Structure 1
Amino acid sequence: MSKRTFVISDIHGCHDEFNKLLKECGYNSKTDHLILLGDYVDRGFKSKEVVSQVMKLVYEDDAIALRGNHDQMFLDIFSDEPDDYLFLHNGGISTIESYCGLNWFEGYQGFDYMRYLQAKEFILKHYTNHIQFLRSLRCHYEDDNHIYVHAGLHPMYENWKEQPAEHFIWIRDIFLNNKTSVDKMVVFGHTPTVNLHNSAEVWFSEEKIGIDGGCVFGYKLNCLEIIEGSYNTHSVDSRLKRDD
């Protein structure tokens, strides 16, 4: 029996949908290969639970987990020169509340920066293993026929592995609007597929496959199934309400 590969991206704290999708796929850790393309945190309500589960999948099931730009933004608030603004304005408050409790800012008038600094200290003290895990994540993975990344590849690099790490997790338009320089299919997340073909379903082109269904925006959480060179797709609807 051929081994199936399942690829999921941009979970963004949507823990319930993630588990529902794994069940929908019939994922079996003993026989299947799971690849996760990053963005486990921010915007959704259960970032802590998602990271905990991803750690378990990697350590116990040999799943592959890549780093996304939101994971990097989370890590950056613990650096010597933290970029708190970028994190907080891209769904970071939900991540803080997931780790510290929904009532963390209760009783404070609006956003309280000192309370936020206390939250960072709390996370560093109680979830050092999560931070270390996210720091350990690679930015790309490949097999015989596919390259897996969070955001994409810069077409100007003949050796795609030489591109700066930021391109793997942040690139968008120059990757989407140009042919790649590789001879493998590039599987990526980062850009919601509703922005690629007005549908939350998996997007296919001749050399790229986009799988971010925009779950945290109220659309879908997608899974790409690869088996013997063919593709199947699975999805579950988001439990969150869309803005439109």
Structure 2
Amino acid sequence: MRTLVIGDIHGGLRALHQIIERAKVTPNDTLIFLGDYVDGWSQSPQVINRLIELRSTNNCIFIRGNHDELLLHWLRDGKDNELWFEHGGEATLNAYESVDKVTKQLHIDFLLSLDDYYLDNKNRLFLHAGFTNMNGVKYEYFSKLFYWDRTLWETALSLDTSIKPNDLLYPKRLTLYDEIYIGHTPVTRINETVPIHRACIWNIDTGAAFTGPLTIMDIDTKEYWQSEPLHHLYFDEKGRN
């Protein structure tokens, strides 16, 4: 039995199919999704349908992403905004034009069920973006930071590697958990398209919303599988480019 972690999908159903096939996922595998299931490519409703289906075959953990929260606000409350529209929301709005009310309600229920974070019995933390409280996620005052924060990853990226975890200058947030798995900030920003490890953090967002692939990784062996770059799978779309 494996535990597999999946990066940001952003409406790319074809890529999700590819990684499930390439990783040879079986019902014995636990799947941890790091959020941002929607916004970007044209199949956001179909992605959510597939995730709901996976609940019936696998032990699944679904983390909340910032784009998932934005979709919930629109589906449930009719709330949208220009910034969301420009950053992937337009494709999602268009895709939902052909979705019936019953399915929309199922999607609302799914979005409401998402977890802010997951901490396993080996002190491995899974969340979409980050946290700011120096004592950890259970003490975070501002829960939206679990799916909006970028400072945790920026801290890990900028950390002087000569500073060791027992040093007084070492960021305390990076000592609390044995491993932290995140998405949210694509590694394509540092010209990478594979999972990147800095300090105790693994960033699994390999840029599927833009020009990178979607990634699934075995958290024990660190073996990973990737889809084709999504702009090749959706060659007639722009995604979030």
Please classify the TM superposition score into its range, dividing by the shorter chain length: 0.7 to 0.9
Matched to 1:235, the amino acid is Q
Structure 2 residue corresponding to 1:212, chosen from 199, 205, 217: 205
Tell me what 1:138 maps to.
115
Tell me what 1:61 maps to.
58
Kindly indicate whether the alpha-carbon contact (under 8 Å) linking 1:225 and 1:231 is maintained by their aligned counterparts in 2: yes
Q: Does 1:223 align with 2:201?
A: no
Q: Does 1:87 align with 2:84?
A: yes
Moved over 6 A (4+): none
Tell me what 2:180 maps to.
186
Structure 1: distance between partners of 2:100 and 2:81: 15
Which structure would you say has the larger RCO, counting Cα contacts within 8 Å and 6 or more residues apart?
2
Structure 2: distance between partners of 1:234 and 1:171: 27
Structure 2: distance between partners of 1:141 and 1:80: 27
Q: Deviations over 1:120-162 (max 9, x none)?
A: xx765641111111111111012114100011222x3303222
Shift of 1:209: 0.2
Matched to 2:185, the amino acid is T
User: Helix, strand or coil: the match of 2:222?
Assistant: strand
Tell me what 1:24 maps to.
22
Q: Deviations over 1:89-139 (max 9, x none)?
A: 2211111222214xxxxxxxxxxxxxxxxxxxx765641111111111111
Structure 2: distance between partners of 1:91 and 1:202: 23
Structure 1 residue corresponding to 2:48, chosen from 48, 51, 57: 51
Kindly tell me: are residues 153 and 202 of structure 1, through their superposed partners in 2, closer, same or farther at Cα, counting changes over 3 Å? same
Tell me what 1:112 maps to.
none
Tell me what 1:239 maps to.
230
Kindly tell me: are residues 85 and 224 of structure 1, through their superposed partners in 2, closer, same or farther at Cα, counting changes over 3 Å? same
Structure 2: distance between partners of 1:124 and 1:74: 15
Structure 2: distance between partners of 1:47 and 1:34: 19
Structure 2 residue corresponding to 1:128, chosen from 72, 84, 105: 105
User: Helix, strand or coil: the match of 1:26?
Assistant: coil
Matched to 2:13, the amino acid is H
Q: Which structure 1 segments of 5+ residues have no match?
A: 102-121
Aligned length: 217
Structure 2: distance between partners of 1:77 and 1:35: 25
Q: Does 1:166 align with 2:144?
A: yes
Structure 2: distance between partners of 1:9 and 1:34: 11
Structure 2: distance between partners of 1:28 and 1:80: 37
